[in-house]
Amino acid sequence: MKWLHNILEVFREELHNSIFDEGVIVFFFVVPLLYPLLYAYLYGNETVREVPTVVVDLANSTTSREFLRKVDATADVEIVGHCADMQEAKDLIHRRKAHCLIYIPAEFDYALMEGRQAVVELYSDMGSMLYYKAVLASCTEVSLAMNQDIKTQRLVGATEKQASTFAYPIKYEYVPMFNTQSGFATFLIPAVLVMVIQQTMVLGIGMMAGEETEKKRRGILEPHVIGKKPIEMLFGKSAAYLAIYSVISAYVFCLVPHWFHLIQIGKWTDLVAFLFPYLLACLFFSMTLSSIAYNREVFIIMFVFVSVPLLFISGISWPTCSMPEFWKVVSWLFPSTFGINGYVKINSMGAVLRDVKPELIGLWVQTIVYGITAWLVYYRSYGKHLKDIIEVAEERLQARWADYL
Amino acid sequence: MNSETTEKKGVWRVVQREVARMLSQPVYVFCMVVAPLIGFLFFTTLMGKGLPMDIPVGVVDEDNTSITRQVLRNLDAFQQTAIVKQYANFGEAREAMQQGKIYAFYYIPEGTTELALSSKQPTVSFYTNAAYLIPASLEYRDMKTMAELASGAIARETLYAKGYADSQVMGILQPIKMEMHAISNPGLNYSQYLSNILLPAMLMLLIFQVTIYSIHSEVKEGTSKHWLELADNNIYKALAGKLLPQLLVWMVMGATYLVLLYAYWDFPLKSGLWPMALASLLLIVVSQAFGVFLCEALPSLRWALSIATLWGVLSFPISGFSFPQIAFPAPLKALSYLFPLRHYYLIYVDQALNGLPLHYSWVNYAALLVFLALPLLFPNRLKKCLLEYQYTR
């Protein structure tokens, strides 16, 4: 049982190293604890309400005022000013007092009286798509309701129901599923949670590997490394990181969504069965990458910027079906791609394990492939290579000893 | 006179030394050239023409009559949706959505045609997967347009038959009509909307980090005293010599993203190139200054890097370019002004999108200048750190 003893020793020492290294604590604990809270807080309002809007009402009639009053009463738009002309209104937008503009031309009322179509013009500052959405949705909603009344008057002898049926023989109903208010938090936070796990693991493990490389360069070896086979190192370390990340995952995937009332409709057994290979894939992915960490900090500047492209390449924002083939293939290299899609499907869309089969297969393939590469990396640094380092260290020691003498 | 010549020589020597450092460590080449280029190319190629085409959509047609089939053919004609499959019932379609095979589906219940023909106004439902927000909202638009067109077509025929005049028909079908103008982005191009901020934001993050790494790693490697000596023990000269060659590389990268955005993709640039070029240059030097400031405030490589990373990553959401700032909780609304990217974003909206004169954005230029002055707060702390500080992990 020597091997078990070895693995346990590595496990203990690595756990100790991760918990007592301030730099690693930041990535293994502080970031996973704080980032999800920060993002959930930031997107907590889900969508933008009461977008400040200015109005140019040249018709200034009962109907136009009724229209504006109803638009003001919607949740998404707030009328913050009435202007005499377009110039004045645009100036308010330019001075950031408002983001949208509703323009009702003077002939609005004549058109209505003559039975022609009356046009209301809407302008939106495109600094954010959500302003556009807010003003268009609110005004359309109000105009549909008002149209109903007007139509009834115009179709002589028709009841309200008949008028409605006449203009819309078939009614269309829009149902946003799994995110009923089309909110930002519900859409983005699950992806961020999954991403945080992978990125902090890459950075933390990279930092620890960098530390070892730095020490080796100075001829220092951690005592628990000596006499261990690479495979024992691999298992011991994996067990240590897995132990830490099981706790972190419980927090990130259970507590955070619970606290912020995010959608959580997956079965927990399915979640566990899915997140386990995700953690393994991230783990071996990080270990493989860590071979290029030549000092403690280098990973921070090399891998943080990747987070945002990785979020996009997962397809959570820009749909995968519209991505160039090349980026689709690149996306399969990262556990986060499968992780995000699978987690969103199970957690937010109530999918069961067999619905996420492609993602599960992806993660297990990554686990195996990156597991092998991680072993190769460890074989290089703890196998034959280690003997060289020990020799060098001994030579140096002897040389120093000789100097001393 | 004599001292002046040695001073000049001092900065120049630090520059030479810095160039040698940058070339000797692969991490500099990676983070200053390779990473920004990969990032720029990634975002500008990922979203292609700016709108997703042929998003897969399913259909549950329980009615299955010639009329419902006609409606579905109309739908398929839209560029953004592609009907990929018919499902036998609601459950199957929902499952396909949960598996990610389709982003939305139409549900036409049994008896729809009959009800429509007998003027009983049946309902056709359109279910989208709003967990994927962008495709869902684009499909919503397609569905709305289709509903208008399909309904309108039938009613229009009837009205013409009844002898209504052209101008009256639309007045009856849709008495009040909304006409939407999206200032500077009429096609709702997502690539334009996102890339304009994502590209500079990524560059900014890298500048934060590289600046700090290049300063504090000198302490770690024990070379900081030598660096200062070469600069006549003057912290300003030392920093100038170190940051100038980096600035040159960053400027080339900045120019690259400007060319990509405004020449290659031809995104709107209403006030001409120079205001945005100025804003980009400001963002670059401000990012360097912010890095130096953090080095002064936090005399530890790890802490300075961690805070810079936090600031850099948080810049993306808090600049408000995707989820608008007016929807943030109040404390974060206030906090957002402490992020240089927020000011860059506001300048971009004013100048590239709205084509306003520079003075409309003066507050933001002033704010960026304040960031630029931050390193003047306590340069001597940094000097002391370079001379005395011992690296701790």
Q: Is B352 on the interface with A (CB under 8 A)?
A: no
Instruction: Please answer yes or no on whether A176 and B181 come within 8 Å at the CB atom.
Output: no
Give the chain A residue nearest B167 (alpha carbons): A116
B40/B262 Cα distance (integer angstroms): 13
The alpha carbon of residue A372 is apart from the nearest alpha carbon of chain B, in Å, by 26
Mean pLDDT of B300-322: 92
- Where do the domains of chain B lie? 2-48+189-388, 55-173
- Which amino acid is residue A306, in one-letter code? V
Give me the DSSP letters along A1-50. -HHHHHHHHHHHHHHHHHHH-HHHHIIIIIHHHHHHHHHHHHTTT-S--S
Say what percent of chain A tops pLDDT 70.
Answer: 93
Least confident residue range of B107-116, B147-156, B324-333: B147-156
Residues of B in contact with A36 (CB under 8 A): none
B12/B231 Cα distance (integer angstroms): 9
The alpha carbon of residue A137 is apart from the nearest alpha carbon of chain B, in Å, by 10
B285/B279 Cα distance (integer angstroms): 10
Give the chain A residue nearest B51 (alpha carbons): A322
Band the pLDDT of A97: cuts 50, 70, 90. Answer: very high
Residues 3-22 of A with CB under 8 A from B: 21-22
Nearest to B205 among A124, A175, A305 (CB): A305
What confidence score (pLDDT) does residue A320 get? 87
The residue written with tokens 């009559």 in the block is B65
Q: Is B102 on the interface with A (CB under 8 A)?
A: no
Q: Two tokens at B110?
A: 């049994």
Contacts of A69 (CB under 8 A, 6+ apart): none
Nearest to B98 among A151, A305, A350 (CB): A350
Best of B118, B126, B132 to disrupt the A interface by mutation (most A CBs within 10 Å)?
B132
Residues 290-329 of A with CB under 8 A from B: 295-298, 300-302, 304-305, 307-309, 312-313, 315-319, 321-324, 326-327
Residues 246-285 of B with CB under 8 A from A: none
What confidence score (pLDDT) does residue B8 get? 52
Give me the DSSP letters along A267-300. -HHHHHHHHHHHHHHHHHHHHHHGGG--SSSHHH
Q: What is the CA radius of gyration of chain B?
A: 29
Burial B21-56 (b: 16+ CB within 10 A, else e): bbeebebbebbbeebbeebbebbbebbeebbbebbb
Say what percent of chain B tops pLDDT 90.
Answer: 50
Mean pLDDT of A161-178: 74
Q: Two tokens at B47?
A: 């979203």
Best of A96, A148, A301 to disrupt the B interface by mutation (most B CBs within 10 Å)?
A301
Q: Is B141 on the interface with A (CB under 8 A)?
A: no
Q: What is the CA radius of gyration of chain A?
A: 30
Q: Which residues pair with B82 in a beta bridge?
A: B56
The alpha carbon of residue B355 is apart from the nearest alpha carbon of chain A, in Å, by 10
Q: Where are the alpha helices (DSSP H) in B162-181?
A: 166-173
Nearest to A167 among B46, B126, B151 (CB): B151
Residues 230-289 of A with CB under 8 A from B: none
Instruction: Name the more confident of B287 and B182.
Output: B287
Q: Is B52 on the interface with A (CB under 8 A)?
A: yes
Tell me which long-range contacts A218-226 makes (C-beta under 8 A, separation of at least 24).
A219/A389, A219/A392, A219/A393, A219/A396, A219/A397, A220/A393, A221/A386, A221/A389, A221/A390, A221/A393, A222/A13, A222/A17, A224/A9, A224/A10, A224/A13, A225/A382, A225/A386, A226/A386, A226/A390
Band the pLDDT of B2: cuts 50, 70, 90. Answer: very low
Q: Which residues pair with A361 in a beta bridge?
A: none
CA distances from A71 to A53, A107, A152 (A): 10, 20, 21
Contacts of A289 (CB under 8 A, 6+ apart): A202, A205, A206, A299, A303
Mean pLDDT of B155-171: 76
Which domains does chain A possess?
A: 2-43+183-400 (no CATH), 51-167 (3.40.1710.10)
Residues 95-114 of A with CB under 8 A from B: 95-96, 99, 111-112, 114
Contacts of A31 (CB under 8 A, 6+ apart): A196, A200, A203
Tell me which long-range contacts A153-160 makes (C-beta under 8 A, separation of at least 24).
A154/A115, A154/B171, A154/B172, A154/B175, A155/B172
Instruction: Please answer yes or no on whether B45 and A125 come within 8 Å at the CB atom.
Output: no
Band the pLDDT of B156: cuts 50, 70, 90. Answer: confident
Instruction: Please answer yes or no on whether A165 and B119 come within 8 Å at the CB atom.
Output: yes
Best of B178, B221, B314 to disrupt the A interface by mutation (most A CBs within 10 Å)?
B178
The alpha carbon of residue B109 is apart from the nearest alpha carbon of chain A, in Å, by 12
Q: Is A218 on the interface with B (CB under 8 A)?
A: no
Q: Is B88 on the interface with A (CB under 8 A)?
A: no
Q: Is A176 on the interface with B (CB under 8 A)?
A: yes
- Sheet strands side by side (includes B55-61): A171-177, B123-129, B104-108, B55-61, B81-86
Residues of B in contact with A348 (CB under 8 A): 131
Whether B281 has a pLDDT exceeding 70, the answer reads: yes
Q: Is B90 on the interface with A (CB under 8 A)?
A: no
Residues 48-77 of A with CB under 8 A from B: 48-49, 51-52, 67
Give the chain B residue nearest A186 (alpha carbons): B131
Give the chain B residue nearest A151 (alpha carbons): B172
Whether A95 has a pLDDT exceeding 80, the answer reads: yes
Contacts of A5 (CB under 8 A, 6+ apart): none
Note whether A102 and A135 are within 8 A (CB).
Answer: yes
Nearest to B121 among A93, A140, A168 (CB): A168
What confidence score (pLDDT) does residue A157 get? 66
Mean pLDDT of A372-397: 78
Instruction: Please answer yes or no on whether B316 and A308 come within 8 Å at the CB atom.
Output: yes
Residues of A in contact with B204 (CB under 8 A): none
Band the pLDDT of A159: cuts 50, 70, 90. Answer: low
* Beta carbon pairs, A and B, within 8 Å: 333
Whether B116 has a pLDDT exceeding 80, the answer reads: no
Q: Is B390 on the interface with A (CB under 8 A)?
A: no
Band the pLDDT of A389: cuts 50, 70, 90. Answer: low
What confidence score (pLDDT) does residue B300 get? 86
The alpha carbon of residue B15 is apart from the nearest alpha carbon of chain A, in Å, by 22
What confidence score (pLDDT) does residue B308 get? 94
Band the pLDDT of A55: cuts 50, 70, 90. Answer: very high
Least confident residue range of B163-167, B317-321, B388-392: B388-392
Residues of B in contact with A115 (CB under 8 A): 168, 171-172
Nearest to A176 among B128, B190, B305 (CB): B128
- Residue A100's SS3 state is strand
Mean pLDDT of A2-27: 89
C-alpha closest to that of A281 among A344, A338, A237? A338
Q: Is B35 on the interface with A (CB under 8 A)?
A: yes
Q: Two tokens at B201?
A: 């934001």
A82/A70 Cα distance (integer angstroms): 15
Instruction: Please answer yes or no on whether B131 and A170 come within 8 Å at the CB atom.
Output: no
Nearest to A112 among B175, B183, B205 (CB): B175
Instruction: Quickly count: other Cβ atoms within 10 Å of residue B166's Cβ.
Output: 10
Instruction: Please answer yes or no on whether A94 and B173 come within 8 Å at the CB atom.
Output: no
What confidence score (pLDDT) does residue A85 get? 92
Contacts of A304 (CB under 8 A, 6+ apart): A199, A203, B205, B209, B309, B312, B313
What confidence score (pLDDT) does residue B7 get? 45
Contacts of B208 (CB under 8 A, 6+ apart): B287, B290, B291, B294, B308, B309, B311, B312
The residue written with tokens 């009329």 in the block is B67
The residue written with tokens 């990181």 in the block is A241
- Spacing of C-alpha B33 from chain mean position: 20
CATH T-level fold of B55-173: abc type-2 transporter like fold (3.40.1710)
Say what percent of chain A tops pLDDT 90.
Answer: 55
Mean pLDDT of A229-254: 93
- Look at the alpha carbons of A249, A312, A40, B368 in this order and tell me if their dihedral is positive or negative: positive
Q: Which residues pair with B124 in a beta bridge?
A: A172
B119/B107 Cα distance (integer angstroms): 19
What confidence score (pLDDT) does residue A127 get? 82
Mean pLDDT of B131-155: 75
DSSP A345: I
C-alpha closest to that of B239 among B9, B18, B46, B7? B18
